[in-house]
Amino acid sequence: DTGVSQDPRHKITKRGQNVTFRCDPISEHNRLYWYRQTLGQGPEFLTYFQNEAQLEKSRLLSDRFSAERPKGSFSTLEIQRTEQGDSAMYLCASSLVGNQETQYFGPGTRLLVL
């Protein structure tokens, strides 16, 4: 069990560019969550998947954001036409159905939009 991994760990981009982040959950975990964390705040829920199905999306997830989990394993979060307000830490977490109330977090991807 190698834990939840995220790639890249840091990303700097210019406003208007698209970025994509990847999350690899703990191997047997069928739930995967994305959060956004800004400086001095707690994580804010964005969306979650159970296997390949995206079951819930926050209103924070604007049309510029899209997430996928095509084979129920890793997931990607894409932000199109990035804005400076998108600068944040993007956290991924995973859990196991039957123990879904306990999430395990990855190290996060820190995004800076210039």
The minimum distance between CB 87 and other proteins, in angstroms, equals 17
2 binds other proteins (CB under 8 A): no
* Cβ partners under 8 Å of residue 21, min gap 6: 6, 7, 8, 11, 76, 77, 78, 90, 92, 109, 111
Q: Which one among 41, 60, 64, 112 touches other proteins, defined by CB under 8 A?
A: 41
| Cis ω for the linkage preceding 107 (within 30 of 0) | no
Applying CB under 8 A, which of residues 32, 43, 49, 94 lies at the interface with other proteins? 43
Where on the chain is the footprint of other proteins (CB under 8 A)? 31, 33, 35, 40-45, 48, 55-56, 58, 91, 93, 95, 100-108
